Amino acid sequence: MIPLQHYLIVAAALFAIGTIGVLVKRNIITMFMCIELMLNAVNLTFIAFARYWGRIEGQIFVFFVMAVAAAEAAVGLAIIVAIYRNRETLNVDDANSMKW
Amino acid sequence: MTLAAFFFYFFAATALLAGVNVVLQKKTVNSAFSLIVCLCAVAMLYVQLDATFIAIIQIIIYAGAIMVLFLFVIMLLGRGPESLPSSLNTGYVAVPLGILLAVLIGQAAARYQSTTPAESAAPSSISAIGSELFSNYVLPFEATSILILVAVLGAVILAKKNP
């Protein structure tokens, strides 16, 4: 059987890739996708621990994380559409001022 | 190398390479398709961890519903390659910092010693998840429905023509 550490290291690498993506990319949709990548890395950690501790709670948590991610994607993409409608850009550097 | 080890390393490598590709691609559509590959590879890792139900909803909800939503928005707002100048400046700082983050978390994970034997089989069937969800976690489960209702209302109000 694969050691638990291998799953954790893969999850750590995925999380770091997502972090780099959020910091490097300027396109707001790509940044959003990198956030999904980070969520996914955490889900992998949950599932790995759930398997190796013989508990079901990790899978329940992943279930809730997915529900929150779905809600987040709906609201986030609506915000992106609203920003694009107001400013005609997807570059986050062009949307760095708030209304007030 | 056993078959299980081969599948683990194959899908782990696929997930990591697709994840890197999400960041490297210039076009948003290519990033989205890379992310779908990454999500499916992670779903295969879930299958290996005996979490078949989570693997199925990963493919249906994540790779299916959420990524289709992403692709809809990408194609709706369709733009060419993103402007690069500012991203290169932050890249010099962000990439070493990200690698440092991966090394730190990975080192902590590598030192982790499991206290329970790895062979203890998890109760991972759909019925086990369902009975747990509707007994101990029934309040969070119902709260999720309110969350999704609020998210639907928020998405409609935000995306309306003249808010």
- ipTM tops the 0.95 cut: no
* Position A13 confidence tier, pLDDT thresholds 50, 70, 90: very high
The amino acid at B7: F
| Helix residue spans in chain B (DSSP H) | 3-24, 28-48, 52-57, 67-76, 85-110, 126-133, 138-158
The predicted structure's pLDDT at residue A82: 87
Q: Which two tokens stand for residue A13?
A: 């690498």
DSSP state of A27: B
Which residue from A61, A51, A69, A68 is spatially nearest to B133, judged by alpha carbons?
A61
Q: How far is A53 from chain B (nearest CA, A)?
A: 6
Q: pTM (2 decimals)? A: 0.89
Mean of pLDDT values over B16-26: 92
B36 vs B121, which has greater pLDDT?
A: B36
Q: Please compute the mean of the pLDDT values over residues B121-150 and round it to a whole number.
A: 87
CA B119 distance to own-chain centroid: 26
| Mean pLDDT, rounded, for A62-73 | 92
In this complex, is the C-beta atom of A77 within 8 Å of any C-beta atom belonging to chain B? Answer: yes
* Residues of B with Cβ-Cβ distance to A99 under 8 angstroms: none
Distance from CA of A22 to the nearest CA of B (A): 9
Residue A47 vs residues A12, A52, A58: alpha-carbon distances, Å: 14, 9, 6
Q: Which residues of B touch A91 (CB under 8 A)?
A: 82-83
